Amino acid sequence: MTVIAMTREIGARGSDVAAGLAERLGLEIVHHELVEHDIAERTGLSEDEVHRHLEGEAFLIERITLDKRRLSRYTAQEILELAAKDNVLIRGWGATYLLRMIPHVVCVRICAPIAYRERTLIERLSLSGPVAAQREIAHSDAAHNGMMQRLFGVDWQDPTLYAAVLNTARIPVCECIELIARLTKSIAFRDTPQSRQVLSDQLVRERVRVALDRRFGSSALHSGMDAHVRDGSVLLIGATTDEQLIVEAVRCAQGIEGVTAVESQIRHIAFVPHDS
């Protein structure tokens, strides 16, 4: 099982690194169109709406009405579902953040100095010069960091999110491919039953969270309902004034793929009306 999560700066030749890794290791590259299509199906939004939200280009009314927490959870579920398929390279969409704690997943960042990125873009996009390239770089960097901030509250340039940060201005693409390929075969990123269980538990947790949001909507959010998962066993936590909601939440979680058992620690809080 080989799973690579990659963040790349525009103009840093990350696409070349990804293509080389896919060819060498027999990986499927997950393109943004697939992610956006699947998230759109889960959320009921159009693919254009999902794309605008993830790229930081949503209209004002879309930004006001969208539940960012829900989009974050749908995105997390989609990335984890893709990682569970094995032998994939997932570019962007917060994959490096969402998969950073999965022991066998190699999270990498491909970067380069601005001058190098400018030269690459001028050559590949036939841009008029450095000013045009700078505009492309500024727009791309702002969109990607904005997406990570909005959905997950993290800075995509934080080096602690990655197992390796590679500068293609110093390390040729072919050597980047070699270095990452060697990491996937190292003991540190060995695919084990334990690492697969970590991935499975995170995936089950997101499936449960999404199912609860879909089933109860704002009620689930207001009650602070959440789930912890270990070895497929789900522990529901939170609080609500609706005792029936607790029963329904347990039933909802029991029907989720990968769940082996459900325990509830959701507290029932009696509603006491204030004197008028």
Q: What is the pLDDT of residues 207-233, one digit of tens each?
A: 999 898 888 875 555 567 889 999 999
Q: Which pair of structure tokens corresponds to residue 122?
A: 């001028």
Q: What's the pLDDT at 75?
A: 85
Residues 89-103 have pLDDT tens digits of 998 878 899 999 999
Q: What's the pLDDT at 61?
A: 41
Name residue 217's beta-bridge partners. none
Distance separating alpha carbons of residues 57 and 254, to the nearest angstrom = 38
- Domain-located, residue 274: no
**Banded model confidence at residue 59, pLDDT cuts 50, 70, 90:** very low
Q: Any idea how long the chain is?
A: 276
**Banded model confidence at residue 36, pLDDT cuts 50, 70, 90:** low
Residues 172-221 have pLDDT tens digits of 999 999 999 999 999 999 999 999 999 999 999 999 998 988 888 755 55
Same domain, 93 and 146: yes
Tally of domains in the chain: 2
- End position of a domain, from candidates 126, 160, 191: 191
Distance separating alpha carbons of residues 1 and 80, to the nearest angstrom = 14
Domain span including residue 235 = 194-268
* Across 80-88, average pLDDT: 92
Top-ranked range on mean pLDDT: pick from 36-40, 56-60, 63-67: 36-40
**Banded model confidence at residue 64, pLDDT cuts 50, 70, 90:** very low
Same domain, 180 and 205: no
- Domain-located, residue 275: no
Q: What's the pLDDT at 196?
A: 95
Cβ neighbours of residue 114 closer than 8 Å, sequence gap 6 or more? 134, 137
Percent of the chain with pLDDT over 70: 83
Distance separating alpha carbons of residues 8 and 253, to the nearest angstrom = 36
Same domain, 206 and 98: no
- End position of a domain, from candidates 173, 191, 209: 191
- Domain-located, residue 163: yes
pLDDT at 47 over 90: no
